[in-house]
Amino acid sequence: MISLVKLLENDFPDINFKPGSTFYWSPVSKTIHYIDSSNSEKTKWALLHEVSHALLNHKSYKNDLELLTMEALAWQKAQAISTKYDIKIDYEHIQNCLDTYRNWLHMRSTCPNCGIRTLQIKPNHYRCHNCHTEWNVTSEKFCRPYRKINSQIKKSPDHIDQVTFV
């Protein structure tokens, strides 16, 4: 892993690399944090994925679907740059990683009242087009606690109930 980090530091001098307990890109400090205790193929793939976030100038996202798109683009870029380092990223691994985001998005976008999949209307806020229930979701990735704001089943569109935690 250290040899790959050294190559990446030489090729991308504007990016900082720092060992840590997890892989992530910090756009504020322009630093890629990585786990250096392993030399497995998967850790190399993760490192290249984070480098790709940096190269694509990923800073923030406005909604959950945009996050999924950014992840897919980072994996696509990682595949493109991996050839320079004689690394082949396994397609199934990429799909498994993206599935974690797809499953996360599916859970967050499922109406807690009627089970319909919906679209996000603003950050951390969804509204069901079927039953008009609205709910907030956490900003945490891979966590699905939510607070139902209203439910309008069998009520006029002007009537809104405040509901407690579900």
Of the candidate CATH numbers 1.10.3210, 1.10.10, 2.60.40, 3.40.50, the domain formed by 2-107 belongs to: 1.10.10
For the cut 70, the answer to whether the pLDDT of residue 68 exceeds it is yes
Q: What tokens does 87 get?
A: 């690394």
What digits encode the pLDDT tens for the residues 1-48? Answer: 679 999 999 999 999 999 999 999 999 999 999 998 877 999 999 999
pTM over 0.75: yes
Comparing C-alpha atoms, which of 87, 23, 21, 92 is closest to residue 51?
Answer: 23
- The whole-number pLDDT of residue 162 equals 37
Question: Where are the domains positioned within the chain?
Answer: 2-107
Summarised one tens digit per residue, pLDDT across range 70-123 is 999 999 999 999 999 999 999 999 999 999 999 999 999 999 999 999 989 998
Is residue 166's pLDDT more than 60? no
Which residue shows structure tokens 């940096």?
Answer: 54
66, 117 contact by CB (below 8 A):
no
Contact present, 115 and 130 (Cβ < 8 Å):
no
Of the two residues 131 and 165, the one the predictor is more confident about is 131
Write down the residue that tokens 């380092």 correspond to: 85
pLDDT of residue 39: 78
How does DSSP classify residue 77? H
